[in-house]
Structure 1
């Protein structure tokens, strides 16, 4: 057989053969070339002469031995061949990795690994330099996953100060009241103000898909000359139908602004969605612009009750539990995801981005800009406050109360 024929046969068969079959087929081709066949086949296949000799012995053994099992006869490599598993080579590998990642320097600078080096590649470097263990960062990730580790962010669960002794009782009251309203088809809303957002061509956390090497260019600082424009999105989330209304104010985050946001929701959406409503349940934080100690909040709710004709039931979340407010994790978090990486260049852009926020569960958002000026420090006299038609509910009347129309 000529050299060119061997080359053609090898190229045609190579893609269809495994490791064992390749070396045995190559040594068979070498026999057909007579003298010097192993050298020619080595040049064509790049298989070493030692491997060809090994394959020749394998073929002879298979011909002379008839008692090999099916598994042994079809084995590609010898039993025990190949690279040893990391766990076999380093029997205490998992213990070393676990000690490395839990060994931080928050309170002890003499520890091995600082908290800033907990990336997979830096763990890899630490294992190589200090324990002489050569392991890829991907294998480290597999080991950590096997041990039950995963990347986790901070979770706001630890309350500063002591928990209110009646916190659970208040949550049960909120749950029972909300369920009763929903069963009756009466509107239930969760309200709060999202953190103020800077309007302009400034950096916004997150990423967006764009053509390669074409990032969106924004200002390198957030404090240019002149007055900065900030907007305060006040959210009204409706538990009944998974809808929301956002009043985008550019003035102070006051109680007057909070109630005006509720009134705008009722005027634009609420009264059309709930034409037979007789009462409204408002779930909110016990502090801030809608706090239970704020007189202006209750006076403005009285005005809203008079204009809408609704009995306004208010249930405040107990102190230190604002993170459980529905509007936070059913509206605001999705707004932040929707505009991630996109600078809020002007008010119209903010309104558009909020209005386009949706979820797989069907969230729909209506957003309007509010150009009214809400002054801070507005005082309510005793006479004005006494005119509020308020009824306290239960043992915690400061958190649970009803404001009814005076007409």
Structure 2
């Protein structure tokens, strides 16, 4: 039986609690046992979740499969190498210095359109010896994540993506200075490839700092393009947050961490929401195929699992990060929509 992304994340949290109580060999064996239970691709998934090199997990699997070859010592010869950030203290500083926007203290939004291989090459030019795999691990530790797309990128699209990030970053700063609320929506849809029998069910959960859990979660899950149902969950999350937080604003900026404009249904429902609360809404979409990090203290997560007869089970996940809330004495003057493609930046009026 496979393990979905939530299962791997749960294992990572459990492993972090157990790790201080494990010696190096026990650590390898725990990782190896979980990787073997995942089957194909388990080594890389567990290594990424635990923050270790895949070779560590592979060595543990060798020890599991050959118990008679148990080493006479806990630590393998040459084991226990120090972390790169310890042996090279300036590495993380220089890596974050390669992120955009450059030379901006405490930016709200950071990103890069360069590959980890390219970043490793640039770090080498600065005197750091680091691999692309290590760059990926360091970025994840710093809070970055890769947003991918199934569509291949053309040469000009890379420049367009970078320009869009600058537009969004400037608009976020403008709204914050005006005392208007800013939120970031991260959307994800998964479909189940291996299903277990069961009755149709719908499970939802929404709450600050809470992760919704859905029933009957057996099988392997694969990421799919965001659909109409996922956007509906996103809007419900925004509506719930607005009502509970009692926002007093004349403008709301929604940064959608998902490509595409959401379709007619999303825009029509968003127009109804804007009319109900009497607030103008600007929506900016972040491009895909980009490593990015969004600042935000409060998080609201919504998780909906649909298991309808005759259809493939689908999970719709939404995370909302609150970057700024409305401020007393805020300027309610209309904030112009950022330039750029209308599918990326658009205004919804009451």
For the aligned pair, the TM-score class normalised by the smaller chain equals 0.3 to 0.5
Structure with a larger share of its residues in strand: 2
Q: Specify the structure having the higher radius of gyration (Cα).
A: 1
Larger relative contact order (CA 8 Å, sep ≥ 6): 2
Question: What TM-score results when the alignment is normalised by the length of structure 1?
Answer: 0.36
Question: What TM-score results when the alignment is normalised by the length of structure 2?
Answer: 0.42
